[in-house]
Structures are given as structure tokens and as C-alpha cells.
Amino acid sequence: MNKFFISLAAVCCTFLAVGQGIVPQPVSQTSREGRFAIRSGTVISVDESYGDLARYLNSYLQPAVGSSLEITAQIPERNSIRLQVSEDKGLPAEGYELEINQTGVTVTGADRTGLHYGIETLLQMLPAEIYAREGTIETLELPCGTIWDYPRFAYRGFMLDVARTFTDKEGVLQVLDRMAHHKLNKLHWHLTDDDAWRIEIKSHPELIDRGAFRGGDYPIRPRYGAWNQVYGGYYTQDDIREIVDYATARDIEIIPEIDLPGHSLAIASVFPEVLCRSADSLRSAGFTPNVLCVAREENYALLDDIMHELSELFPSSYIHVGGDEVDPSQWNACPDCQALMVRHGFDSPNQVNGYFMQRMQKILRKYGKHQAVWSEAVDGDNLPLDTRVHGWKNVADCRKTLGKGYSTVIMPATYFYFDMQQSPGEPGLTWAAIFDMEKTYSFDFDGAGITSEEQKYIAGIECALWMEVGRTNGPGYLDYQIFPRICAFSEVAWSPREARQWENFYGRMNATHYNRLVAMGAGFRITPPVLTYANGAITAMTPLVGAEIRYTSDGTEPQADSPLYTGPIATDKIDSYWFTVFYKGRKSPSVPVPGANPYLTPKFTLTSSMPLERRTGGGDFDARNYDRTSRTCQVGDYVTYTFDSPVSCGRMSICTGYPFMPKFYIPVGKVEISYDGTTFEPAGDLVDGRITLEPSRPFRAIRIVSESDGNCDSAVYLRDPIMTVK
């Protein structure tokens, strides 16, 4: 048994002790003999000022018990769940004590939030099905003991980009529920970007009328796919109020973000005059200007209107105003911005960014708000020191802002950007890192080299999901990218450093927490099986309790009806084996056997109706890594891969454009296959420039025929087909 399986066994054996399986791990927990059973007749005892929390608890217990529990201000001697807030126990802010005896349960919060978190922990101690809120559960027993718990950081955030891919109101409410179950308390809501403006502003209704959609006749081009459709959505102010109330009830503060002065293509598509006077000439030189003119006074009046409405909608004392990735070429080419730089003695565009933030701060102060920004905004050394900064690129970026004395939210992309792939080839991007939950879990301030002096300025930590490729990857993308990494993140944010131990956490995930995610309806990523090949046999293992492993031996993708792995498979032909973990409707990525050569690289010739330039080699985002055309595609353009000899493969993935993002692609097209090299027959349609085929017999050529006029880019990139050994 490896050390992981030993710790899993330990978790399973002691699972009935108090607090086992809780995520995030509590500060301390002690167990005692005995149990208490919640059943009809159990009452919830609470002072009416916290009645909403009693009703919240009851909304989970009622379906499980089969009838509503009585909520009373009385304090019964037996058979009750008592909810109270008290300062007497000396609990830190947001802390709670959960006491379970044979006569009942007492949850004591240091404050309202602490009481809420005690209830969240109580829910985790019940069968996982409690989260489904449907169907009775036979026994709702709790083991006796005491949990004492409070958070490590006051700021435990999640950033959601709803601009690139829209998450509708119901989806946002679901995110809030799941954040609360993991004791996360800040939703940083990225409401605008180049690709959309998502929030209704009553004084400027055009922002959503024309800025919330892309494609069709809308001014925003569909650069993240959905080529033939109009794509988008927005939140009305009523939606916002409903979402804010829902969040407040779950002790979550929503910090809205309007990303300025860069990332502003959406607002500039609606109001082109907000750009610099140089925009037209830059556009004709092939740029897409997306930065507000800092010298245009009318822009501040527009932003004042927007911030005023935002201030009234969001109770948070912070509004995030962006500041990241500003392309200075627009200010450099603008006579007005240049004159402003001379007037203020600025010699760098970073100071212009800082100046813009000073102006924003003045506006926000009028409405009683503070500003939050991304870390580039500190580079001009003229950002007001009472600004909260989000350090995002990597640990060095966070240290930069801590070192300058800014209260900093730590969110290095290399650990906490959940749009990064979890292993090579999975959904998501790769520019910062490829990592799974173990890396997220490993984040450690001392280990990362953040000095104790710098640590004084840490406001908290935040994970993020940018959604450039959300729409392309379908509705399950949000859940797949954040779960289970956000579970690991919650423990980094909440639990004391010394209480964190990877094997123990992974054991809790596998023994119980995945099951809770199932009951919550979350579609999470599953760790692939652990494979070994020794003595002529393949062995496969998964620590996930209740999961099964299925496999194929012909290079195709394992499916729910593929052969079930039941024990070592004797074979000397490992190259064509693929294994996948299946668990309650979810599946892991499929993996080949270590040491196998699972891919074919047959020789082929590429021909096209578009002029072709051969690649010269480079990384994923590097154009040199791809064959490319020297113009964009038109309807009827084709690309043909002709193989030197017939190819027999398990599966073949064809990809136009970047493999992980619909750019430089053939947006819509037919794919044809030829078995003799001359006659072609239909094989399928490109979806966002891609297709995976499992040809049943040897073939000679593959042809892609474009059905789209253009792709928003100046070329088409073509990656070699990826083929598995049959």
C-alpha cells in the first residue's frame, strides 16, 4: 500500500469521529463517545435575530427529515439544535464552536458569520445527500464531540469572469451557495472586459443594449467563438439586487469590477469617443484599441455615472477598477494624453495609469467607496496607498505590491488561476502553469519566499476563473475548472498552516467530499487513475471511494460502457491502452500507461487553397508552433492532410487555430475523410475549429472545408493532427 492508501484507510476507519471529512479542515476537533440523531421532533432553538440562519439550516434538514423542524426561541433540554451568538467563549471573528452531545447540538458563533459557518460544518457532518435537498435520509446521526474553528484569513475570495462567458443569474447563485459551503466570503465579480459589458447602468442603457452581446450585427466581434450566433447576456439591476441579497445572506461580500482603463473594448464599442484620438490610425495599422483616453474629461463624467450606480447597488466598501494589461501604444500616439503627460511631468505610461486611478479614487470617495486594482497599477509609484491591490501574475508580482506597502490580495496565477489546465490537453489555458489541486494546496507564504515583513500587508487570498474559453468548452466548464481546486484553495484560505497536510486532505476528498460535490450537483474534475506496468501486466488504481476504472485497448477514448478494470491486465502491447476513472456521471481525463508510446506521427503533406507558410517551432501560444496560412479563410477554402501511406489510428484530433482557444481558427467547416486518397466522404463538422474522429478503418487523407468568411484574425493556424496508436 502506498502512503496515500494508508491515509485514505485512516480517514475511512475514523470517519465516524467528530469532524472527520470536513473541508476546509477545522482548527481543532475532539471526539467523545455517543451520538445524537436529528429526527422529526428535533427543534431548532434560536433567537429571532438569527432566525434566517435557522431557516437556512432547516432548508437542508427538512427534506432529509421529511418534515419541517420547529424553530423556537425556547431552549429545550433535549433533542434540539441550539444556534446562538456569544462573545463569552473568546472565539475570533467568524469563528464558531460546535458542540454535539447525546442530548443535542449547540452551535455558538463569535458573530453572525461564525454561527453561519458552524451551520456549514454541521451540514458537512451529515450524510452527503443533505446537499441535494431532496428525498428523506434514513439516519441523520452526529458523533459527539466538539469543534472549535475560525479562519486564517479574513479575505477568502473567488473571482469570476462573466464578461468572456456569461454565467446567468441562477449560475451565480449556485456559485454563491458552493462558496458558502467552503467558507469563502468574497466574490470578486469581473463584470466587464473587452468582450462584454454585463451590468445594466440606467443612466447609460446603451452599455447593455449594445455591449452585452457579440456577433451578428453587434459592434463586438465574436472572437471567443459562437461564430454564427449572437452570444451574450447581462444582469438587470433587479438581478444584481437579488444576487447581492443572496450573497449577503451567505456572508459573502460581492466586489464588482469594471475593468479600466484597458480591457475596455466593450465600452468603446458602444461609445467609440472614449478612446484616444489616435484610435482610428492605430486601427488601420491592424491594432484593436481598447484603452480609454485618460485626457478626455468627458470620460470621467461617464465613469462617475457608472460608479454612482454601482455604489448604490453593491454594499461592499470596495469597487475594483482594473488597471491591468494596459497597452501604452494608444496613449503614446495620442496628442491629448501626451500633453497630459507633459503637464504632470510624467515620463512613463505607468504614471498615466496611476493618474487614472487617482481620478477614479476621487470619484469613488464621493460615493463612500475604496478602490481595488490589479497589480500593474502600482508600477507608476503614484497609486494612492489606501488602494487594495490584487497581485496576480506570480509570487514575485505579489511581493512587488506587498513590498510597496499596499494591502494585497494574493492570487498568483501559478497556483490560483483555475482557467489553467489541470493536466496537459485538458480544458483551459496554459500560459501561467498547468496544475491540479495538489499544487493549489501546496501554496505556502514562507515557502514561496514572502518575507514576514511583506506578510503584514496580506489582505487575504483569492482564486480566479477567467472565462475566455468558457463558452467553447460548454456549460460544464465552470465546475470542471474550479472543482476540486477550490476545495484545496478553501483550506489554504481557512485552515491553520500546521493543520494542512496533503495526504489527509486528499483522503477526505476521496472518502467524503467528492460525494458532497455530487449532491451539490457540481461537475468536478477527477484525478486520473494511477497506472503501473510491471512483470508484463498493467495495474490501475483510484483512491476515489465508489469509483470505477474503465479502459480501451484500441486507442479509442474509454466510455461508460468500455470494459471495467477488475485486476491486472497481462499484455505486451501497452501503447494502445487508455484508462479513465468514472464516478457518478463524471469522468477523469483518460491516460496511457507510463512508458507507452501512445501516439502516432505518420508523415503527411499539407495542401490548401490558402497560401501556406511552414512552421518553425515554438510554444503553445507561439505562432511558430503551427503551420499557418498567410490570409484568413473564406467560404470554400480547404486544407488537406494527405498521408504518405494508409493510417490506422484509435482516435484523431484535428485542430485549427490554438488548441485551447478559438483564435486563428476555421470557425465553421465540414470535415471529410478519404480512404483511397482521391474520393472524400463526410466525417463531421468542426466545432469551434476542432473535431475528434475515431476512424474505423485505415484512411489516406483528411480535408477541412471552410464554411466561414473570416475568423476575426489575419491567418489560420494548423496543428498537426494528434493520433493514438490503435
Residues that bind Zn ion (CB under 5 A): 276, 293, 295, 334, 336-337
Q: 374: helix, coil or strand?
A: strand
> How far, in Å, CA of 300 to CA of 303, rounded?
5
**How far does the chain reach from its first CA to its final CA, in angstroms?**
33
Measured from the Cβ of residue 672, the count of other Cβ atoms closer than 10 Å reads 18
**Binds 482, which of ligand ACM, Zn ion, none (CB < 5 to 8 A, cut-off by type)?**
none
Measured from the Cβ of residue 17, the count of other Cβ atoms closer than 10 Å reads 15
Nearer to ligand ACM, 112 or 404 (CB): 404
User: Which residue intervals of 575-648 are DSSP H helices?
Assistant: none
The least CB distance from residue 304 to Zn ion, in Å, is: 18
Nearer to ligand ACM, 341 or 398 (CB): 398
> How far, in Å, CA of 709 to CA of 712, rounded?
9
Give the closest residue to 187 by CA, choosing from 207, 165, 166, 162.
162
Q: Which residues, 6 or more positions from 123, have their beta carbon under 8 angstroms from its beta carbon?
A: 57, 60, 130, 131, 181
Q: Which three three-digit cell numbers place residue 601?
A: 506521427
**Binds 324, which of Zn ion, ligand ACM, none (CB < 5 to 8 A, cut-off by type)?**
ligand ACM
Nearer to ligand ACM, 324 or 627 (CB): 324
The least CB distance from residue 217 to ligand ACM, in Å, is: 29
**Binds 374, which of Zn ion, ligand ACM, none (CB < 5 to 8 A, cut-off by type)?**
ligand ACM
> How far, in Å, CA of 74 to CA of 83, rounded?
11
The least CB distance from residue 667 to ligand ACM, in Å, is: 25
The least CB distance from residue 295 to Zn ion, in Å, is: 5
Nearer to ligand ACM, 42 or 192 (CB): 192
Q: Which three three-digit cell numbers place residue 320?
A: 475594483
Nearer to ligand ACM, 69 or 411 (CB): 411
The single residue listed with the C-alpha cell 472543482 is 483
**Binds 337, which of ligand ACM, Zn ion, none (CB < 5 to 8 A, cut-off by type)?**
Zn ion
> How far, in Å, CA of 420 to CA of 414, rounded?
8
Nearer to ligand ACM, 388 or 508 (CB): 388
Nearer to ligand ACM, 481 or 542 (CB): 481
**Binds 276, which of Zn ion, ligand ACM, none (CB < 5 to 8 A, cut-off by type)?**
Zn ion
**Binds 293, which of Zn ion, ligand ACM, none (CB < 5 to 8 A, cut-off by type)?**
Zn ion
The least CB distance from residue 414 to ligand ACM, in Å, is: 12
CA distances from 342 to 205, 328, 339, 345 (A): 36, 16, 5, 5
Give the closest residue to 103 by CA, choosing from 32, 29, 51.
32
The least CB distance from residue 570 to ligand ACM, in Å, is: 49
The least CB distance from residue 276 to Zn ion, in Å, is: 3
Nearer to ligand ACM, 117 or 374 (CB): 374
The single residue listed with the C-alpha cell 485512516 is 10
Binding site for ligand ACM (CB under 6 A): 324-325, 374, 392
**Binds 392, which of ligand ACM, Zn ion, none (CB < 5 to 8 A, cut-off by type)?**
ligand ACM
Element (H, E) at 581: strand 578-583
The least CB distance from residue 279 to Zn ion, in Å, is: 9
Burial 40-49 (b: 16+ CB within 10 A, else e): eebbbbbeee
